Amino acid sequence: MDTTILGIESSCDDTSASVIRNGVMLSNVIASQAVHEAFGGVVPELASRAHQQNIIPVVSEALKRAGVDKSELSAVAFTRGPGLMGSLLVGTSFAKGFSAALNIPMIEVNHLQAHVLAHFIKENEVDKDQPSFPFLCLLVSGGNSQIIKVNSYKDMEVIGQTIDDAAGEAFDKCAKVMGLPYPGGPVIDRLAKDGNPDAFRFNKPHIPGYNYSFSGLKTSFLYLLRDSLKKNDRFIEENKTDLCASLQRTIVEILMDKLRKAAKDLGIKEVAVAGGVSANSAVRKAFEDHAVKYGWKIHVPKFSFTTDNAAMVAITGYYKYLDKDFCSMDTAPFARVEL
Ligand code: KG4
């Protein structure tokens, strides 16, 4: 019998719904929220209102594109957390209503686990390039920077994580002080293509183990701008591409240094990357270089699966469904939840 899962993602500022049948993606609809651009960051209240407006049309569209009637659904999976409480509440409440109305089970999904399992979304029956266990996953987004040892679909160990800012936050905050629009990561990536990555040097953290820190880099970047602007008030304009390229190089080096150390220490050569920052061209290039130099088998997601999407929620829901890992109607969202 077919297993058909509807996935719902509403943890931050993207409303998304996806239908996955027997592990194969049939649809993945994402409505992004442009309303936040003017504010230089996501405004939680506006995000939850937009989710409320978007959720029904997005789910209808996902079912329509999949060619699936709601009576064919086996279960509804939704992001329980981490994320913005008001945003999570919309997806969670919708999933509850849907599950009750259709009398189908409900599956709670951890957003971080979903980012990792995005590597198992099949886009067609013959799509085979999936990681084998155990593998390491560098999860880098606006809110997280973690190295995860993935032992199975369910068993994941965080072996390193940021002690302050996330990598995406470092991109976004440094972009903000340069006067670039939000989110700054993709803008820095674009500008960096025309810059010299050796033009400026920034401090790299010296912390033990596989943990990350990006707050020192942010401060060092800020001080360079402050001191240079005193001498030349056109410093940012004149050096924008070099600043972006040098910053990006440093962030990628910090990420890869620890990941390489973890891979070496654990003797794991199967390495994946996930989360919004995995869209970054220098991160992707670094993975390709490591594959050649260290014999890694790498897994880099398609761009559409790097940022928040419901296909990753649906695939996680699919594996949980096979284990009959359902949740009850009293499940409430969690703004903060560990992997
Ligand atoms: O995973 P994600 O979509 O959202 C969550 O944090 O859950 O990640 C968003 C982050 C933002 O910080 C954004 O600037 C960053 O991913 N990002 C990038 C790129 N595309 C998105 N950072 C660097 N280079 C990119 N090309």
pLDDT score of 296: 98
Residue 102 pLDDT > 90 = yes
Domain identity same for 140 and 277:
yes
**Residue-range definition of the domain harbouring residue 184:** 135-301
Question: What total number of domains does the chain contain?
Answer: 2
Atom of ligand 1 nearest to the CA of 275: 1
- The type of residue at 311 is A
Domain identity same for 296 and 315:
no
Residue 112 included in any domain: yes
In angstroms, what is the span from residue 307 Cα to ligand 1's centroid?
A: 7
Residue 327 included in any domain: no
Residue 156 included in any domain: yes
CATH number at residue 81: 3.30.420.40
Atom 8 in ligand 1: which residue has the minimum CA distance?
A: 276
Residue 332 included in any domain: no
Residue 176 included in any domain: yes
pLDDT confidence tier of residue 93, bands split at 50, 70 and 90: very high
Atom of ligand 1 nearest to the CA of 281: 26
pLDDT score of 129: 82
Who has greater pLDDT, 339 or 17?
A: 17
User: What's the average model confidence in pLDDT over 127-144?
Assistant: 91
Domain identity same for 140 and 243:
yes
Task: Please report which helix (H) or strand (E) contains residue 79, including its range.
Answer: strand 75-81
pLDDT tens for residues 211-268?
999 999 999 999 999 999 999 999 999 999 999 999 999 999 999 999 999 999 999 9
Atom 3 in ligand 1: which residue has the minimum CA distance?
A: 307
Q: Out of 9-18, 124-133, 251-260, 283-292, which region has the weakest mean confidence (pLDDT)? A: 124-133
Select from 82, 11, 9, 114 the least CA-distant residue to 336: 82
Domain identity same for 140 and 257:
yes
User: What's the average model confidence in pLDDT over 173-177?
Assistant: 95
Domain identity same for 71 and 184:
no
Q: Out of 141-145, 156-160, 253-257, 260-264, which region has the weakest mean confidence (pLDDT)? A: 141-145
pLDDT score of 36: 83
Task: Name the β-bridge partners of 327.
Answer: 106
In angstroms, what is the span from residue 279 Cα to ligand 1's centroid?
A: 7
Instruction: Report the alpha-carbon distance of residue 118 to residue 301 in Å, rounded.
Output: 8
Q: Consult the annotation and say whether 277 binds a ligand.
A: no
- Strands 75-81 and 106-110 turn out to be parallel
Domain identity same for 123 and 246:
no
User: What's the average model confidence in pLDDT over 131-149?
Assistant: 95
What percent of the chain has a predicted confidence (pLDDT) above 90? 90
Q: Consult the annotation and say whether 115 binds a ligand.
A: yes
DSSP state of 133: S
Residue 337 included in any domain: no
Domain identity same for 141 and 262:
yes
Q: What is the average pLDDT value for the chain, to the nearest integer?
A: 95
Select from 210, 293, 298 the least CA-distant residue to 254: 210
pTM for this entry: 0.95
Instruction: Collect all residues with Cβ–Cβ distance below 8 Å to 336 and sequence separation of at least 6.
Output: 81, 82
In angstroms, what is the span from residue 276 Cα to ligand 1's centroid?
A: 3
Domain identity same for 283 and 176:
yes
Q: Consult the annotation and say whether 290 binds a ligand.
A: no
Domain identity same for 275 and 295:
yes
Domain identity same for 200 and 258:
yes
Q: Consult the annotation and say whether 97 binds a ligand.
A: no
Atom of ligand 1 nearest to the CA of 182: 14
Domain identity same for 143 and 278:
yes
> ipTM score here?
0.97
Residue 89 included in any domain: yes
Residue 142 Cβ < 6 Å to ligand 1: yes
Q: Where are the beta strands (DSSP E) in the chain?
A: 4-9, 14-21, 24-32, 75-81, 106-110, 135-140, 145-150, 156-161, 270-274, 297-299
pLDDT tens for residues 34-72?
888 778 778 899 999 999 999 999 999 999 999 999 999
Residue 335 included in any domain: no
Residue 314 Cβ < 6 Å to ligand 1: no
Atom 10 in ligand 1: which residue has the minimum CA distance?
A: 142
pLDDT score of 127: 73
Instruction: Report the alpha-carbon distance of residue 213 to residue 206 in Å, rounded.
Output: 9
Domain identity same for 201 and 52:
no
pLDDT score of 35: 83
